Structure 1
Amino acid sequence: MDWRTLPSLTSLRAFAAAAEFQNLTRAAEALNVTHSAVSQQIRGLEQQLGTRLITRTRHGISLTSQGEFLSAGLLEAFAEMASVTERVTSAESVRPLVVSATPMFSSAFLMPRLSTFIDEFPNIELRIDSTIQAVDLKPGGIDMAVRYGTGRWPGLVSQMLLPGCLTVVASRELIGNRVLTSTAELLDFTLLQEQASVEFDLWLEKVGIPTDADRRVVRVPGNMLLDGIRRGDGIGATVPAFVSDELKSGQLVALFDDPIPQIGYYLVTLPGPVRPAANLFMQWLSKSITEYEKSLSRWTPSHLL
């Protein structure tokens, strides 16, 4: 098909509507345009095709033989287009909303708040894909993802949700009254790290502790990491916002932090428009993040006390 030779869709719609109603005024109302706009589109179509399509009468219009032939094909084609787009829209409206998120974000932020989203939008079926992997976003598949990083993922649109550098924390029960003054002292403890995540490894290397150093490491799923830190199974790194209450109460102590501009949790989507259910979730998530940030408490790493 040579798309370049086809008349514009606007002119074809104008003529098809006029043919259906046999009246330019009614066609204009159906298309939500002016009478003159419809008339102009039809004249342009006639000029492009090189033939008359309509004749004007006292009560409206009548179709020429060529107009009858063209209108029959167009009305059938537009009816099929309407049916197809309606089926697509219907399928998208009932398809579950799929959100990929890291285990840490899922357990520390999403799960405690999902009931408010469900109460507000009971007709949206939500599916959380909790994984540390950066899953591919494809139309008809995963709608959006929450990722931790710098926000730079080629071919995707990212929006900062929750700024947060990694902060090494430990339970007060584990370290007692000890004040760590050097990152080398971290090797005195078991290091809890999130499975398949390299952020803490990179942090340790940055502060001078290489990956081949003599250290005790236990790798656990992200949704279990915070529980292990709270119990005193070891020390670990997390975004301080997720343990704000524990830091405020003194149950946990911030040992070392690493402020890196623009690092944190990002909402990642494909370029272009998103379907209504996804847009509602994005608005809810943004609102929840704003409320969450307002409630965050202040904390001071123990090496700064």
Structure 2
Amino acid sequence: MDWSTLPSLSALRAFEAAARHQSFSAAARELNVTHAAIAQHVRQLEAELSEPLLYRSGRGVATTEAGQQLARQLSEGFSIISEGVDALRQQTNARPLAVSLTPSFAINWLMPRMGGFWQAHPEVTVSLTPNSALIDLRRDGFDMAIRFGDGQWPGLESTLLTRGEFWVVASPTLLSGQTPRTMRDVSHLPWLMENHMLELRRVIEDADLDLSTIDLTVLETNELVISASLAGLGVSVHPRSLVERDVVAGTLTHICSLMREELGYHIVTLPGRDSPNLRIFRKWLMKVAKS
């Protein structure tokens, strides 16, 4: 199809609406433009086609023979387009909402709460893909990601889900009855850290703990760090959202807190992607995070 030979879509829409309603005013209301805009589009279309399409009839307008033929074909064409778009929207709403997130966030924050979502919204299917790798939402076909960082990812929209509060924790077994209140109080103990959490290194160092002076073991994933911490193998630092359950259960002890407001877990989406299911899940996430 040679699009350069076709009149503007705006002019075609204006003419089709005016012909269907037999009124410039009604067409203007449907398309949310002015009466003058509809009239101008129709005049431009008639000039481009060198053919009269509409003429005044009483208080409205009527189609010429050529106008009636064009209006009928445009109506059929727009109906086909509308049906195609509606079918695709139905497919989008019917398919599972694809969400990428880190394994730690999935295990320690989201999954303990997902039962509430399933109960409240049985009509929405969510497909969770835990992955430590940084995925490309557009290329990899994801509707949403939950990422840790400062929210500054080029070409993406992000909303802070959990605040930048970090808890220094350790197993009660490792602490042996001690009640430390600062990181320096436990600087003599072994420490654990995930290999990829560069932001966390900055948080710790900004709190005046030199990582080069402590007994630090680096593990590949945060799930391993939390598991090792629960086993009493070292002190570790995590976003509050990941270890709060264990602290409440008494399997980890909260030593102190570190604050970095700009860091945290964010809901990340592509600009302009806002399906009904995505809105439902995002609204639920934000509500749960605030509770």
TM range (shorter): 0.7 to 0.9
Any idea what SS the aligned residue of 1:138 has?
Answer: helix
Q: Deviations over 1:24-46 (max 9, x none)?
A: 38964993769956963534533
Residue 114 of structure 1 corresponds to which residue in structure 2?
Answer: 114
Residues 148 and 263 of structure 1 are in contact (CA less than 8 Å); yes or no, is this contact kept in structure 2?
Answer: yes
Any idea what SS the aligned residue of 2:271 has?
Answer: coil
Residue 133 of structure 2 corresponds to which residue in structure 1?
Answer: 133
What is the CA-CA distance between 1:53 and the residue it aligns to?
Answer: 0.6
Residue 89 of structure 1 corresponds to which residue in structure 2?
Answer: 89
Q: Give the unaligned 5+ runs of structure 2.
A: none
What is the CA-CA distance between 1:269 and the residue it aligns to?
Answer: 1.4
CA distance in 2, matches of 1:35, 1:164: 49
Residues 162 and 266 of structure 1 are in contact (CA less than 8 Å); yes or no, is this contact kept in structure 2?
Answer: yes
Task: Decide whether aligned partners of structure 1 residues 256 and 60 sit closer, same or farther in structure 2, where only a CA change above 3 A counts.
Answer: closer
Q: Deviations over 1:200-244 (max 9, x none)?
A: 55556552122xx67362626434543442342432221234433
Residues 102 and 222 of structure 1 are in contact (CA less than 8 Å); yes or no, is this contact kept in structure 2?
Answer: no
Task: Decide whether aligned partners of structure 1 residues 274 and 46 sit closer, same or farther in structure 2, where only a CA change above 3 A counts.
Answer: same
Range moving further from structure 2, 125-134 or 75-84: 75-84
Residue 238 of structure 2 corresponds to which residue in structure 1?
Answer: 238
% of aligned pairs identical? 28
Residues 24 and 39 of structure 1 are in contact (CA less than 8 Å); yes or no, is this contact kept in structure 2?
Answer: no
Structure 1 residue 286 and structure 2 residue 281: aligned? Answer: no
CA distance in 2, matches of 1:76, 1:249: 64
Task: Decide whether aligned partners of structure 1 residues 137 and 249 sit closer, same or farther in structure 2, where only a CA change above 3 A counts.
Answer: closer
Residues 108 and 223 of structure 1 are in contact (CA less than 8 Å); yes or no, is this contact kept in structure 2?
Answer: no
- The number of residues matched between the two structures is 286
What is the CA-CA distance between 1:114 and the residue it aligns to?
Answer: 0.8
Listed as ranges, the matches of 1:137-152 within 5 Å are 137-138=137-138, 141-152=141-152
Any idea what SS the aligned residue of 2:87 has?
Answer: helix
Residue 156 of structure 1 corresponds to which residue in structure 2?
Answer: 156
Residues 187 and 214 of structure 2 are in contact (CA less than 8 Å); yes or no, is this contact kept in structure 1?
Answer: no
TM-score, structure 1 length as denominator? 0.76
What's the RMSD between the two structures over aligned residues? 3.6
Structure 1 residue 209 and structure 2 residue 240: aligned? Answer: no
Q: Give the unaligned 5+ runs of structure 1.
A: 292-305
Task: Decide whether aligned partners of structure 1 residues 59 and 261 sit closer, same or farther in structure 2, where only a CA change above 3 A counts.
Answer: closer
Q: Deviations over 1:108-132 (max 9, x none)?
A: 2110111111122111110111122
Task: Decide whether aligned partners of structure 1 residues 96 and 57 sit closer, same or farther in structure 2, where only a CA change above 3 A counts.
Answer: same
What is the CA-CA distance between 1:280 and the residue it aligns to?
Answer: 0.9
Q: For residue 156 of structure 1, what is the amino acid of its counterpart?
A: L
Q: For residue 210 of structure 2, what is the amino acid of its counterpart?
A: G
CA distance in 1, matches of 2:38, 2:185: 81
Listed as ranges, the matches of 1:10-159 within 5 Å are 11-20=11-20, 23-24=22-23, 28=27, 31=30, 40=39, 41-43=41-43, 45-47=45-47, 49-57=49-57, 62-138=62-138, 141-159=141-159
Task: Decide whether aligned partners of structure 1 residues 182 and 246 sit closer, same or farther in structure 2, where only a CA change above 3 A counts.
Answer: closer
Residues 203 and 260 of structure 2 are in contact (CA less than 8 Å); yes or no, is this contact kept in structure 1?
Answer: no
CA distance in 2, matches of 1:164, 1:158: 15
